Structures are given as structure tokens and as C-alpha cells.
Structure 1
Amino acid sequence: MNTPEQSQLGKASAYIDQYDASLLFPIPREGKRAEIGVTGTPPFFGADLWTAFELSWLNLRGKPQVALAHITVPCESPNIVESKSFKLYLNSFNNTRFADAREVRERIRADLNAVVGTGVGIQTLGPELFDREPVHELDGLNLDRLDVECIHYQPAPELLFAEFDEPPVEETLTSNLLKSNCLVTGQPDWGSVQIRYAGPQINQEGLLQYLVSFRNHNEFHEQCVERIFMDIWTRCKPLKLSVYARYTRRGGLDINPFRTSHPQALPSSVRTARQ
């Protein structure tokens, strides 16, 4: 079983510029899920929405081509792909000739399917479509308006509570104060998070303090979002819950996990201003 420590994270790496699918490094989801009480089928659906901003290759005449790629990895996949390995893999396209963007897209799809263990979605956008890529902040009531005291900087689920004796509500809450660190290198990961739920009203001050408590926590993006989902799901007992985080890019990649308790369409992959 691959572990994060066995990946290229935090290590000097050669930048291979000829196509090499072996650079992709899978990491099983099950180990970190077991830490948050998820064994067997998870109580959530969703996907990890990746954006690749540094995708380039050569056409058959040797002329460089550039594109953006939106990649969807279902959370049902047994593995995630470690992000530095994905960066190195995409770099390996730089001096490789392909007939067209479709060939590049299908090559990436096939390689990722083999690594994560399920079918991924991929869309590539050429330069003629770049100006159609919108920027929009997450919709919802911003928790950051609250003047709260914050003293916890490791996940503190005990800060979460809901008003079980009051009528249920349905609301969408957001924060730009989500920060965690890479599981291996400790480098900071900055994000914004949106929480939609229906059920007992969640105390907003406690929720904001809880989100801030991830500030010094070392875990991958996907794992942080699943931890947030499970803590809210367990402690506040909503009837419905969705957690969506958009993290700033690193190495030309951003990762935006979405988890929901009920089947629904994935959110549009629209970047925030910080991304």
C-alpha cells in the first residue's frame, strides 16, 4: 500500500519532459477515512474537482500548445492521486508530440482511471475559451463576520453543536478562513469552504471556531473536507449536508473537494478570486 511518505513530496525531483504515466502516485483513501470513523461505504457522495492551469504539449509539427483542464475524480474511487506526482506527470507532456487536444485528454483520462481505480471526467479548454472562465466567490452567509475568540489550531470537533430543541432550518454558510497544511511537507494550504445543510440550526460561532481549528492541522485537502463533513454529520445531525472547499493552487493545480449526504449535481467548478 502506498503511503504519502513514499511519494515525491518534499523531495528533490527531476522534471521529466517526455510523457511518463509512471510518475502518477496513488494513495488509498481508506486509511485516513478509518481515522474519522468511515469504514465500508461512506455516508457521502461527491468528487474532487481539480483544475490544471499548466497543461502544455507539442503538436505534430513541434509547436507548443496550451490548455486548461478540469478533472473530476469521484470520491468513490479507492485512491487519490498525490498532487506533486500529478504535476510531474503533466510536465512530462511538455516536449511530447500529440495529434490534438483530444488525444491529450484521452491519454490523461486513461492514465488517471488506472491510478485512482474508477472513471474520471476531464474537460480541456483551449486559449480561445480562457476568457469564459468566470471568477465567483462561494455563495452563502459569511461566518467571518463574527467576532469570535479562537484558541484552537488543531481540529476541535467539540466546538460544534446545534439547537436540537429549536425548529429546523436550511441555510448555506461560508468562510475564507480555512487553512491546513500538507500532510508530508507541512506547507500551508489556503481555502474557502461552503457548508449547506438542513436540520437543527448549527451554532455559527462554534462552526467558525471549528473551521479555524484546522489552521495547524496536517492533512490533504480531500481528507480535511471529509473530516469536516463527518464531524458536522456526527455532532450536529443534519438531515442533509454538503461541504465544498476550494483551495488555492500549488504547482499549477488546485483541488476542490465536494462531499454531500444526498445525490445531487456537482457544483460548477468556478474559481474564487484567490485561486
Structure 2
Amino acid sequence: MTLSNTPEQSQLGRASAYVDQYDPTQLFPIARETQRATMGIQESALPFFGADLWTAFELSWLNARGKPQLAIAHFTIPCETANIIESKSFKLYLNSFNSSVFPDAAAVRERLADDLSEAVWRGSERSGRVGVKLLAPEMFDREQVHEMDGVDLDRLDLECTRYQPAPDLLSAAFDEIPVTETLTSRLLKSNCLVTGQPDWGSVQIRYSGPQIDQAGLLQYIVSYRQHNEFHEPCAERIFTDIWQRCRPTKLAVYARYTRRGGLDINPFRASWPQALPANVRTARQ
């Protein structure tokens, strides 16, 4: 049974009371199936593997003596889950830990994993576990900042005139020797599906196959600039369009979006099973 929640029913764009006592009902899952159907993606036969890598920079709770504790949290939500979590509801949920007492960080981690796992699989006959990793303050100094590796598409001096996703801009050299390369851009921008607020991101595209025309690819990335869609389906749309138009033998798309409300979302999709990329933030994140 598909979850019936819609983005318009969420707290996005509304005044919200910030609850500071633990409240898992703040989480608002939205079915992935709805947006995937617009791309011709069937839930029973996903064309990709991957996960959504979230980072929470605003997580705090109280210990048994009432002293505030804090951590940076990394979440790994498999792309096979039935639902995504609407990001404002995720923030409200995390805020509900602020004045709640937990015996230790392990208890917080387990509570997070339990609640998020239930939410992302709600309405599905399947189930699984969301990955949760908490970094204590003594580990903060080890957190890296690194730009995505690859050939920088943004170096190209070209004209951009289209600002809604235009897959017809994509092309590849099907009559030439196949290549393996990694291409990156910091010019990915889309807008929140409900509020229209800008979502800024970088994207890395790794592929093997007919060489993709770089100018057309950059124009295609820029074409998302006025598009209203959540981060996760944007990454899946990019993957699907390149897969269909350029016909690579292997393809991986990794998008890292700047944080909002103390949360960043970083979808990764690949045509073959592999280790997930390290959740390392870029300078803008």
C-alpha cells in the first residue's frame, strides 16, 4: 500500500511550533513512487542502486544530569525505501530531542534508527534499517571539507537559455571509442517543490560508454534552475535522462546540496552495486 501523504500536507511553508520534547510523530514520510512514476521508474524494477546521505548539524539532547549533549549525525537511507522524509519534518523531529533525557549517545542513535526506519518503510510490506552514525565533539576536528573530484564542466564558456529540465540537450558520441570519465559541476540549482525556495547543489557524474558532450551536459544541469522538485527525485531524473539519452554502460550520479535548517541531503544513484561515497561535505555545505 502506497503512503497517501503529499508534500502539500507537510509543514513546509507553514508556521510551526518547535517541540523540544521527543516526538517521533513529527516525521512526515512521502512516497517515492509518485515522483518516480513521472520518470517512468517502476518501484518493482529500479534502474539504480544507491542511497540518500543526510547530515544533521543540529542534534542535541540532555544526559541524566540535565547537561546538554550534542553530535553531528550521518544518516544513510537506502534508495529502495518506500518513502523519503520531508526535510522540515526531519528538522522538527530532531529538535524534539533538545530537552529530552537519554542515558547516552548509543540510546539516541538507536532511537533515531528505529524511528527513521519505521517512517521510510511505512505503508510497505518490506522493511529495513536506516544507517545512523553519531560524531561526538571530540571527533569534529577530523571532519573534512573536499570538493568533488572530476573534470570541471563549469570552465566552459557557453550560452544557457533553458531553465526547466531539457533532456534533449544531452548527446553522446556513439560512433567513437567509449571512454571512462568523471565530470562535475557546482551549477546545479533547483527549487523546493512546495515553497519554491532555492536548493543549491553540486553534482558529480561518473560513467563509462560513449563520450558525453560536455557543453550539452552543463546546459542540461543548468536547465534545472527553475525546476520545482525535491533533491532525491532531481538526482534520479538526472540519472534517468543521462541513462536513456547517452546510453552509458555504467553511470553514477552523486548530488550534494547545501544545508537548510541544519540538514543537508546528498543523493547517490549508480547503475551497479558499489560502496557508497564518503559523506564528505563541500565548501558550500
The interval holding the TM-score normalised by the smaller chain is over 0.9
From 134, 137, 141, the counterpart of 1:127: 137
From 212, 232, 236, the counterpart of 2:242: 232
Number of equivalenced pairs: 275
Which residue number in structure 1 is paired with residue 100 of structure 2?
96
Q: Tell me, what secondary structure is at the counterpart of 1:166?
A: coil
Q: Tell me, what secondary structure is at the counterpart of 1:33?
A: helix
Which residue number in structure 2 is paired with residue 115 of structure 1?
119
User: CA offset at residue 18 of structure 1?
Assistant: 0.1
From 7, 31, 41, the counterpart of 2:34: 31
Query: Distance in 2 between the 1:176 and 1:53 partners?
Result: 22
CA-atom RMSD in angstroms: 0.4
Which residue number in structure 2 is paired with residue 195 of structure 1?
205
TM, length-normalised to structure 1: 1.00
Q: Tell me, what secondary structure is at the counterpart of 1:60?
A: coil
Which residue number in structure 2 is paired with residue 246 of structure 1?
256
Query: Distance in 2 between the 1:140 and 1:60 partners?
Result: 48
User: CA offset at residue 119 of structure 1?
Assistant: 1.3
Structure 2 residues not aligned, in runs of 5+: 122-127
Which residue number in structure 2 is paired with residue 177 of structure 1?
187
Query: Distance in 1 between the 2:27 and 2:167 partners?
Result: 34
1:197-254 Cα offsets, whole Å, 9 max, x none, are: 0000000000000000000000000010000000000000000000001000000000
User: CA offset at residue 41 of structure 1?
Assistant: 1.5
Does 2:8 correspond to 1:5?
yes
Which residue number in structure 1 is paired with residue 274 of structure 2?
264
1:42-86 Cα offsets, whole Å, 9 max, x none, are: 100000000000000000000000100000000000100100000
Query: Distance in 2 between the 1:255 and 1:119 partners?
Result: 18
Tell me which amino acid in the other structure corresponds to 2:67. K
Query: Distance in 1 between the 2:190 and 2:182 partners?
Result: 22
Work out the percentage of aligned pairs sharing the same amino acid.
Answer: 73
User: CA offset at residue 7 of structure 1?
Assistant: 0.4
1:161-215 Cα offsets, whole Å, 9 max, x none, are: 0000000000000000000000000000000000000000000000000000000
User: CA offset at residue 271 of structure 1?
Assistant: 0.3
